[in-house]
């Protein structure tokens, strides 16, 4: 049972999330030979003020 954890900035629409998890599920099934029912996708939404790259918060960019 593949479980895929994804971290994204907040702000995606429900439609974008639906399309994203459908695409991830399809790619997982095609690549690993899994059934769609065995694929779990967890989306963790992160505020830009809680994420930094190269020592800078994304909220400051």
Q: What distances in angstroms separate CA 35 from CA 23, 24, 26, one per listed residue? A: 14, 12, 9
Q: How confident is the model at residue 57 (pLDDT cuts 50, 70, 90)?
A: very high
The confidence score (pLDDT) of residue 12 equals: 97
Strands 56-57 and 40-46: unpaired
Q: Give the model's confidence band at 1: pLDDT under 50 very low, under 70 low, under 90 confident, else very high.
A: confident
pLDDT, tens digit, 9 for 90 and up, residues 12-32: 999 999 999 999 999 999 999
pLDDT attached to residue 13: 98
CA distance linking residue 50 with residue 9, whole number of Å: 9
Which positions are annotated as active-site residues?
A: 2
Q: Domains plus CATH for the chain? A: 3-60 (3.30.429.10)
- pTM summary value: 0.88
């Amino acid at each position: 049972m593949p479980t895929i954890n994804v971290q994204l900035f907040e702000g995606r629409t429900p439609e974008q999330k639906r399309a994203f998890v459908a695409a991830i599920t399809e790619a997982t099934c095609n690549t690993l030979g899994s059934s769609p029912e065995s694929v779990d996708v967890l989306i963790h939404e992160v505020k830009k003020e809680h994420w930094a790259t190269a020592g800078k918060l994304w909220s400051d960019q």
